[in-house]
Chains A and B, each alone.
Chain A
Amino acid sequence: MIPSERGLLLRRRLLSGVDMLMSVLATVFAVLFLGWLLWGVVTRGVSALNLALFTESTPGAGIDGGGLANAIVGSFLMTGAGIVLAALIGILAAVWLVEMAPGGALARAIRFFNDVLLAGPSIIAGVFVYGVLVRPMGHFSGWAGAAALAVVALPVVVSTACAALELVPGSLREASAALGAPRWRTTLQVVLRASRSGILTGLLLATARIFGEAAPLLFTSLGNNFFTWNMNQPVAGLPQVLYLFATGPYDNWHQLAWAGALVSTAVVLGLLVIARLVSRHHD
């Protein structure tokens, strides 16, 4: 090999090495950021953890102590109601899109709008539900919050359920049809059963998504410093309490915000881990 050629090769390898280094650094940056974020939430959150967090309600302005019991319960109530509503509509809609009218113009249009809804700003859900539920009813309520969360969860459920249904092999449907089962029976007893872990994974992802959503709750459930099971009145949601308390001027509010950040991060990450286990179990 003549020297200049060797020099060229060296240069190419060096340049390549620089690019590879950048790529590794980019990955390290992303992973480190996750670590930094989690580290901050865990260290500051743990030091603010105590029993009162789960037994006492959120304190008003300037009042010492307090906990997050009302917000934690409120979040579970609204998330639960929201996901049930979204699951009912979303799974049946996905069944129609994949099983009944695949490839049709209407189905394609619905899928497009679902994609828009999926990536659309979640605060729009809050504004919309304020307009169609809160203003007509005349008051903020837990149901309105749940409805806004359902609007956020619905497109996630539809798209993940569609993906799960599409994974079911056509031969399974044909086998069922060959045994004389009508379409609806095939869908309910064969296709849905075969795709249930995929659909469940989607529901878990949607739950994780809406459990941490603050924006849709700001003008729908509003928040409430008192403990309540009554979804007909304003209800505190954990993420929206975090927003209020973190931007407020009081030290104990900041403490509670960190503790709440830890609790909601733990719940969301827990849901994501369960979702992964469910989908992996099936593979």
Chain B
Amino acid sequence: MARVLTGTAELASTPASAPAEVGDRLFGLGTGGFALLVLGLMLAILAFLFAGALPALRQFGWHFFVSSEWNPVSGEFGAASSILGTLATSLVALVVAVPVSFGVAVFLNVLCPHWLRRPVGVAVELLAGIPSVIYGIWGLFVFAPLFADRIQPALTDWFGGLPLVGGLFDGPPIGLGWGVAGFVLGVMVIPFIAAVMRDVLATVPRHLIESAYALGATHREVIWNVLVPSTRRGLAGGIILGLGRALGETMAVTFLVGNAHNVTFSLFEPGNTIASTIANEFSEASGDLHVSVLIALGFTLFAITIVVLSVANAMLRRSARKEAAA
């Protein structure tokens, strides 16, 4: 053993290895340049968005974020309706996606017979692979009409009369708005949340689960008293990751949200989101201020996404470290 080690040391110091070292250094520099390109791209995007947003932010100040005025003709722009719509549709999406994703993750981890695991896993993956614009077309022609004819009147009947929340379910039965957009968005993010939750649940040590069963625990008790408490942080990370996806989703929402600069508190009124506003107005923006406003919206969206993702990554990393320690 010792001989081999000295052998390598000698080999490394012989003159013959000098070109190899040069080669390694060049290779490192070359590939390092490409890695820096990835970093540079990210910084360039941030710098571009910030610089492009400045004229709009100078013009309107913080008022930009709270005003809902939107009039390209008179040059009045406020981001409130877009920001509110982005948050509202994403919230609806989470309400739909979180329980379903958790159910799917539990099914795949606890209940699913072995032969079914692969097909169900593949189906959920395909749900993630279908392009957003396809969800949009399907939503517009298949789901929205059904929603307007059947689901929305029923929801208005059941909940419309309730105090406080009743207003949420009031609106014209056109099948476009926060509710439909959020629902389809929810289906789109199910695969992302479910995949993280499935992986997180699978990290719970087998002996913990089996000792719970050995003590006579039912499936329900194992899930809520063993799996969930020991993976809380990872599960939350998965949910926040899904939120990050939902915030930036563009095409499906643009099809379904109705595209009106509208501050509303009803799920059934047409509204808009940051992404849908950019998609709709960017290529026909009327003048430099309008373009700057849209880039400022993009900057806002990107900033929100970065914060959300950092939180999700931190939670997932911490949960992974806890597993490693256990």
Contacts and interface: CB of A to CB of B under 8 A. Distances in A.
Physical interaction between A and B: yes
A161 B35 CA distance: 13
A110 B35 contact: yes
Contacts of B49: 124, 127-128
Given A23-B107, A127-B278, A33 B39 contact: no
B261 interface: no
B163 interface: no
Contacts of A187: 27
Most chain A C-beta atoms within 10 Å of own C-beta, residue among B99, B124, B131, B219: B131
Interface in B1-46: 8, 11, 17, 20-21, 23-24, 26-28, 30-32, 34-39, 41-45
Nearest to B187: A33
B208 interface: no
A40 B138 contact: yes
Contacts of A18: 220
B273 to A, nearest CB: 10
Contacts of B35: 92-93, 96-97, 101, 106-107, 110
The dominant DSSP class at the B interface is helix
Given A109-B39, A212-B131, A246-B137, A30 B218 contact: no
Q: Bin chain B's interface residue count.
A: 35 or more
Interface in B263-283: 275, 278-279, 282-283
Interface in B290-318: 294-295, 298, 301-302, 305-306, 309-310, 313
Contacts, number: 273
Interface string B163-194: 00000000000000000000000010011001
Contacts of A190: none
A24 B30 contact: no
A155 B21 CA distance: 30
A37 B255 contact: no
A247 interface: yes
B247 interface: yes
A4 to B, nearest CB: 16
Contacts of B31: 92-93, 95-96, 99-100
Contacts of B282: 126-127, 130, 218-219
A26 B313 contact: no
A36 B130 CA distance: 13
Contacts of B249: 121
A106 B24 CA distance: 19
Contacts of A214: 131-133, 250-251
Contacts of A22: 99, 103
A156 interface: no
B222 to A, nearest CB: 9
B313 A112 contact: yes
A139 to B, nearest CB: 13
A13 B140 CA distance: 43
Contacts of A124: 45, 49, 248, 298, 301-302
Q: Bin chain A's interface residue count.
A: 35 or more
Interface of B: 8, 11, 17, 20-21, 23-24, 26-28, 30-32, 34-39, 41-45, 48-49, 52, 99-104, 106-108, 110-111, 120, 122-127, 129-138, 140-142, 187, 190-191, 194, 218-221, 223, 241, 244-245, 247-251, 254-255, 275, 278-279, 282-283, 294-295, 298, 301-302, 305-306, 309-310, 313
18 contacts: A12-B218, A15-B218, A19-B220, A24-B111, A30-B127, A30-B187, A33-B127, A34-B123, A34-B126, A93-B37, A101-B32, A101-B35, A116-B306, A123-B275, A183-B27, A211-B131, A214-B251, A242-B133
Interface of A: 12-13, 15-16, 18-20, 22-27, 29-31, 33-34, 36-37, 40-41, 44, 88-90, 92-93, 95-97, 99-101, 106-107, 109-110, 112-117, 119-128, 130-132, 151, 154-155, 158, 178, 180, 182-185, 187, 208, 211-215, 218-219, 222, 239-240, 242-243, 246-247, 254, 257-258, 261, 264-265, 268-269, 272, 276
Given A93-B38, A101-B35, A119-B244, 14 more contacts: A13-B218, A27-B107, A30-B124, A31-B124, A41-B137, A95-B31, A112-B310, A127-B295, A180-B11, A187-B27, A214-B251, A239-B133, A242-B137, A264-B133
